A and B are shown apart, each in its own frame.
Chain A
Amino acid sequence: MGLTLFTYLAAAFAAVAALGVKGRGGGVRAFRIAAFSGVAYAVLLATGYLLSEDYRAAALVLVRLAAAGAVTSYLAFFRLAVGYPYAKRLVALDVALAAVAGAALWALVFTDAYLVDLKRFGYDFVRFEGSYHAALSIAGAGIGAAAAVTMAARAAVVSSRVYRQHLAVMALGLAGSVAWGYALAIVAPTSTFLMGAYPLSAANALFSVLAASYAFSATRVFQARAAVKAVAAWAVILLAFGLPLGAAVGMAFLLRGAAPATAVLLAAVGFAAAGHWAESFAKGRLGSGHDEASREDLEAAIAHLDLSTGRESVLGELSGIMGDAFGCSWFATLSEDDSGGLRRIYPEDDDALVAAPGSPALEALAALERRVVFKTDVVADEAFAEQKPALLAFFEALGAEAVVLAKEGRRVVGAFAFGPKRSGADYDALDYAAFDAVHGKLFVVAYYARHVARESLLETVEQEIGLADQIVRSIQQHIDPIAHPGVSVSFRCESPRGLGGDLFDSVRISEHRWFFVVGDISGKGLNASMSMVILKSMIRTLLKEEKDFVKLVSRTNAFIKERLPRGTFFSGLFGFLALDKGSVYFINCGIPAMFFRSPGLDSAVEAQGDGKMLGFVKNVEPFLKTRKLALPPGSRLLICTDGIVEAESVRGERYGKERLARILGENKGSSAAETVDAVVKSASAFAGGRLDDDITVVAIDYEGLPKEKKR
């Protein structure tokens, strides 16, 4: 009975794997028929075996149907072997295979040619075979073997390496299935020794279905080293834990110490709990720690690029770093030019427009949600179906195998292209993880390349500060100004050294709604600027994806915690101005001061409430509170970062919030811009003309919607 249980579990596992395949491309239909016929085979045969002791007639029908299921599954695998990975219509083949399936169904189920009767006495299983049992069995297995051989043969000739691997994996899985099924379903019942293993025969669907599921979901090649590592990790789990647990549960079951359901439940809970431990143990011992260390080294190398040496030199150095890390035969940097197209700027002697503005390639890149794309992904991943021709043409034009994109929302600011590996290997999942890990740092270089002009210009600007200042100013100016008849917004964002980590950004969401963020990313100088550049871009990208305000902030927090240098945090405020509702919704993430002055109040009041800064904990969502503030016409908001509030006089006094409130009171009749100027002047004078920290001051005056626009 235990073996039957195993077959049921194998069927369930295979069904789950098959259901997990989401593709719509070539071969998926054949795969589904093959997978679910295989699952049906397992369930029918196991049930027939169980019933064959007391309900022979029903058992006979079920086992005959099971055989038909197995043949259908092999026929569908054969169809998959011939067509994969393309979606070509092969009508003649489909008709022929359907005819064979129909004939097999008739012969196996409605005649005595395959099976005449069966009977089980406890563990003894007796099968009365029909006159053509051997011939039909060999023919059925032969179809499966032919499918496996076809897959292997196609694996040898297909040009795409990723499809080659898919076909090879499917061939191996199917060959294993056929061998297992033949040995246990055909040979075992004739042997006294192996007869008891008969119900296990139908578990064979697991191998072929898992292998094909892998092929339909994997879009990258795997390297032998990574595959061996993964197999070794699973072997550790199996040997150290799976086998002892299985033995213990089996013994409990046999000794009647546990009912079948209890045994399965115990096994599942135990395996889930200890499997987790075993997996982390295996990974720790088998080397993924080494991969993480390499990624950290790579990240550090890119972070330490000296931007003051000029664009050509920076990109040259980056090319060396990438060549060492990934073994690529060449490396190129593309940058957005003034027309909005993508131009190759490194190597410099190869200045060429790679994607013109509005070209299908650029549109396809703009539409991508991913920032790291391998050519193998484009070839094999259904998610790229729409953009496939344009993206493939882009990869072909470059001769590249991998591309890392630097995007701000949809806009492609730059891209890094990687040529084939010197070893001839393909880019694999480990490379993907490494690209993904260093994306933030690469983004900064892309921004640098976009905004810092050629070497000749560099001679006219100061070195480090001048360069970074160009970037910061360019990015700071790149906002959607809040231009609306019902509101007047003014801001100043300055740094004592010309570059800093303060940030103000606004994005138009709809006619009356604007998103804005104001704050300070920790660190000073160039590092803070880099973090600010990355953060601003990331928030804009997340805005496109995330409609939930709290989740947007929470994902920003996760990005800071996981991607920005250790010790980086953000103190500020995220807001949504709903001008049609006369409200502002905001989440305080540690902004030191947000004052609100209503026309009906004499004095300004603090409105920010408590807040938690971002970058301290992995999941900040439970700590975030969205607040709403109604803005009557004539009201004003004044938001400041800590550079103002913490400004110090020569005597060591803090500027503080009281002075800020007083300035706000004194400027009741002034415009938003005049008020911002007044705050900056006051704080600067207080600090003896020298502000130590980056400062940002934002004033938002709400006038109310113009009457004709009110609903």
Chain B
Amino acid sequence: MTGISVEVVERGAWTVLTVHGPINSYTHNELQEKTMRHAGRVDMAVDLSGVSSMTSAGIGVLLAAVEDAAAAGKRFVVVAPSEVARLAIESTGFSDHFPTVPSLKELPA
């Protein structure tokens, strides 16, 4: 699978972006466009359970979203990151920058 799909749904107070596929320099634009549209405007959750690989391009998108949310006083969480997504986040040395919940059911109210 070389493409990426990003689905956006409302779930209670949260706007949930569900990502499937690899996040790399070719595919990150779609994710970036959708996170930029919502980050800092709503409480945003990004479900990374379907991510098959993630390079620094993906981390950059998440970091910008985290910073936009913090600047606007909105919430941002990563949901159920796949093993590769988790490793990519851990490689930054700042995993605690990306609050994570194990599943969509665990999203705070």
Contact = CB atoms under 8 A, between A and B. Distances in A.
A522 B94 contact: no
Interface stretch (A88-96, A140-148, A646-654): A646-654
A692 B26 CA distance: 7
Interface in A556-582: 565-569, 571
A611 B92 CA distance: 8
Contacts of B25: 496, 524, 692-694
Nearest to A591: B91
A180 interface: no
A617 B94 contact: yes
A520 B91 CA distance: 13
Interface in A624-682: 642-643, 646, 648, 652, 654
B56 interface: yes
Contacts of A546: none
B60 interface: yes
- With most chain A CB atoms within 10 A of its CB, the pick from B26, B55, B65, B92 is B55
A590 B24 CA distance: 18
Nearest to B64: A567
A571 B60 contact: no
B63 A642 contact: no
Contact of B93 (A523, A524, A613): A613
B59 A569 contact: yes
Contacts of B22: 648, 652
A567 B61 contact: yes
B15 interface: no
Contacts of A455: none
A590 B57 contact: no
Contacts of A566: 64, 67-68
A532 to B, nearest CB: 13
A588 to B, nearest CB: 9
Nearest to B66: A567
Contacts of B65: 567
A652 B52 contact: yes
Interface string A234-254: 000000000000000000000
Interface string B55-89: 11101110111011000000000000000100000
Nearest to A652: B52
B48 to A, nearest CB: 16
Nearest to B68: A566
Contact of B57 (A524, A565, A592, A654): A524
A306 interface: no
Chain B: interface secondary structure?
A: helix
B63 A522 contact: yes
B39 to A, nearest CB: 10
A623 interface: yes
A648 B56 CA distance: 14
Interface in B26-64: 26, 28, 52-53, 55-57, 59-61, 63-64
A654 B24 CA distance: 13
Contact of B53 (A522, A590, A652): A652
Interface in A478-517: 496
A610 B93 contact: yes
B11 interface: no
A496 B92 CA distance: 23
Interface residues of B, number: 25
A494 to B, nearest CB: 13
Interface string A302-339: 00000000000000000000000000000000000000
A280 B91 CA distance: 37
A612 interface: yes
A522 B60 contact: yes
Contacts of B97: 616-617
B53 to A, nearest CB: 6
Contacts of B84: 654
B75 to A, nearest CB: 17
Interface string B91-107: 11110010000000000
B77 to A, nearest CB: 17
A586 to B, nearest CB: 15
Given A496-B25, A590-B93, A693-B24, A522 B59 contact: yes
A660 to B, nearest CB: 16
B24 A692 contact: yes
Contacts of B91: 571, 590, 592, 613
A571 B64 CA distance: 16
- With most chain B CB atoms within 10 A of its CB, the pick from A568, A590, A646, A694 is A646
Contacts of A590: 91-93
B53 A646 contact: yes
Contacts of B60: 522-523, 567-569
Contacts of B94: 612-613, 616-617
B53 A616 contact: no
Given A567-B60, A646-B55, A613 B92 contact: yes
Contacts of A616: 63, 92-94, 97
B109 interface: no
B56 A571 contact: yes
B61 A569 contact: no
Interface in A521-571: 522-524, 565-569, 571
Contacts of A623: 93
A641 to B, nearest CB: 9
A621 to B, nearest CB: 14
A524 B28 contact: yes
Contacts of A610: 93
B61 to A, nearest CB: 7
B55 A642 contact: yes
A496 B55 CA distance: 15
A681 B96 CA distance: 37
Contacts of B1: 652
Contacts of A692: 24-26, 55
Contacts of B28: 524
- With most chain B CB atoms within 10 A of its CB, the pick from A567, A569, A611 is A567
A612 B26 contact: no
A341 to B, nearest CB: 39
Nearest to B25: A524
Given A496-B25, A611-B93, A652-B1, A567 B63 contact: yes
Interface string A687-708: 0000011100000000000000
B53 A648 contact: yes
A164 B52 CA distance: 67
Contacts of B63: 522, 567, 569, 615-616
Contacts of B56: 520, 522, 569, 571, 642, 693
Contact of A654 (B53, B61, B67): B53
B52 to A, nearest CB: 6
Given A616-B92, A642-B56, A693-B24, 15 more contacts: A520-B56, A522-B56, A522-B59, A522-B60, A524-B28, A566-B64, A569-B56, A569-B60, A613-B92, A616-B94, A616-B97, A646-B55, A648-B53, A692-B24, A692-B26
Closest 9 CB pairs of A and B: A567-B64, A612-B93, A522-B60, A616-B94, A524-B25, A567-B63, A613-B92, A646-B55, A692-B24
11 contacts: A524-B25, A565-B64, A569-B60, A590-B93, A616-B63, A616-B93, A617-B97, A642-B56, A643-B55, A692-B26, A693-B55
